[in-house]
Structure 1
Amino acid sequence: MPSYITVTALSHPGLLRDHNEDSLVVSPWTLCGTVTENPQTLVFPLGTPLVVAVADGIGGQPAGEVASALTVRQLASCGPSLDSEEAVRDALGLCNHAVYAAADRDPELITMGTTVAGAVVLSESLLVFNVGDSRVLDATEHGLRQVSVDDSPPLAPGRRTTSLVTQALGGAPEFSAITPHVMTSPLSAGDRYLVCTDGLTDPVPEDALDDLLRAHDGGRAAFELWKSAIEAGGPDNITLALIGIGG
């Protein structure tokens, strides 16, 4: 039976952006718009709901780092109560309201928005959630399997990625409700999940990510994933968290 959880995480602006608009929560800790020099690993007992999520401020619009920070801090405050799909949907709705409310108070923040993706680890299951195109990937023995659902328009022929999203927290001049993607997966010792922003998945193909996760674990895996995005040009902020289920 699983008995503990490891989370290894890092956040980096990449090579082309002048600042980091990504944020990260490993409840109750948050990391907002900053840089980790090395992967950090935390260990938690299995039991109380543990939320692990990334938020990616929408580029080309103001204050993405504010929207992503608001979102992860809201999730951190809700963390222990996130024990069902309904609770996760409600929490994401609160995040959406918080982003719009902050924009209403400050004209310079109008249209700020963020994606979010993550997982809540429960004693016997995992609640996977997302709004936007940040991702949660299950590192199975048969290869990586995406368990989040990209909110993106159809790709043009020959294109593997797009920077457009069809749904986000905030991001519009007036309030718009969201329909979060939330699903439940069973939990077993040895399971591994990758939660990340598109600064990793856009420049690095999924088969390359799979190869790295097969070859490495923990801090080394997180470092090699980050390095692969940097070697691919580091076009965007890179934030990732590796969740490991130990027995």
Structure 2
Amino acid sequence: MAYIAVTALSHVGLVRDHNEDSLVIGPWTLCGTTTLSPQTLLFPLGRPLVVAVADGLGGQPAGEVASELVVRELALLGPSLDGAQAVEDALNLCNRAVHSAAAGRPDLTAMGTTVAGALVLPESLLSFNVGDSKVFHVTGDGLRQVSVDDSPPPAPGHRTTSAVTQTLGGSRGHSTITPHVADLALTTGDRYLVCSDGLTDPVPDEAIHDVLRVHDDGKAAFELWKAAIEAGGPDNITLALVRIGA
């Protein structure tokens, strides 16, 4: 029987004083905390399965509140999602929910979060994102980013930028969002990486691929975390490796 294996971890990093990242894997959520080691969950291939990372906006209040709200919504909606339009509708609902939760709450004003993830269906995988958290298809040739960054080009001499042009919630009122959704064929052996920019900002794509090329998922998740920590751990680090097995 085909199955989905998801190996994940979340860590505060070395600079932030708390973790504003949240994670959803099917009905399971991990919000604003630190895992001591990578955890692996197995699911049968067939029912819709959502795997997503939400990265609360730094520099704004209550990023962890926004990210938790989004992953809990996705955990509830996940079993009913059956295609690209359903994913877009779910993300728009999440956007409205974050804005509504902040309304009339000065302590939550302008809270927001990015989100990136995958909806695994029986014969396809839908990659989705709003913001700059990422989804990669892992192949023998390297990493192929299948999410679309909502961010301006980095400044000359810089590899990355911390600016984002689109989020769930945030300071732009109830403005609409345009989620990025890609429909990908699914085959046994496929491997995907879903992560916050706490991994991809300090660790280049080539280094991420080198780790994934030589390690199985549990060891790879640990080594990716270690690489981000050794690069200074400037942000919260959350990642999930999704593998389609048989």
State TM-score, norm by structure 2.
Answer: 0.99
CA contact (8 A) 1:110 1:173 kept: no
The equivalent residue for 2:21 is 22
Mapping of 1:40-79 within 5 angstroms? 40-79=39-78
1:49, 1:161 → 2: CA distance?
33
Mapping of 1:1-247 within 5 angstroms? 3-172=2-171, 174-247=173-246
1:210, 1:180 → 2: CA distance?
26
Q: Deviations over 1:75-116 (max 9, x none)?
A: 001001111000000000010001000000412101000000
Which SS does the other structure have where 1:240 is aligned?
Answer: strand
1:61, 1:173 → 2: CA distance?
13
Q: Offset at 1:173?
A: 5.4
1:63, 1:26 → 2: CA distance?
22
Q: Where does structure 2 lack aligned partners over 5 or more consecutive residues?
A: none
Q: Offset at 1:154?
A: 1.7
1:98, 1:199 → 2: CA distance?
25
Q: Offset at 1:156?
A: 1.5
Could you say what the CA RMSD is over the residues aligned between the two structures, in angstroms? 0.8
Which SS does the other structure have where 1:87 is aligned?
Answer: helix
1:160, 1:69 → 2: CA distance?
29
Q: Deviations over 1:52-84 (max 9, x none)?
A: 000000000000000000000000010011110
Q: Offset at 1:129?
A: 0.1
Worse-superposed segment, 105-114 or 33-42 = 105-114
1:70, 1:56 → 2: CA distance?
11
1:128, 1:83 → 2: CA distance?
13
Q: Deviations over 1:203-236 (max 9, x none)?
A: 0000000000001012111000000000000000
1:135, 1:173 → 2: CA distance?
22
Q: Offset at 1:172?
A: 1.1
CA contact (8 A) 1:24 1:55 kept: yes
Which residue identity does 1:160 align to in structure 2? R
2:81, 2:213 → 1: CA distance?
31
Worse-superposed segment, 10-19 or 167-176 = 167-176
Q: Offset at 1:157?
A: 1.5
2:13, 2:207 → 1: CA distance?
18
Q: How many residues align?
A: 246
CA contact (8 A) 1:78 1:91 kept: yes
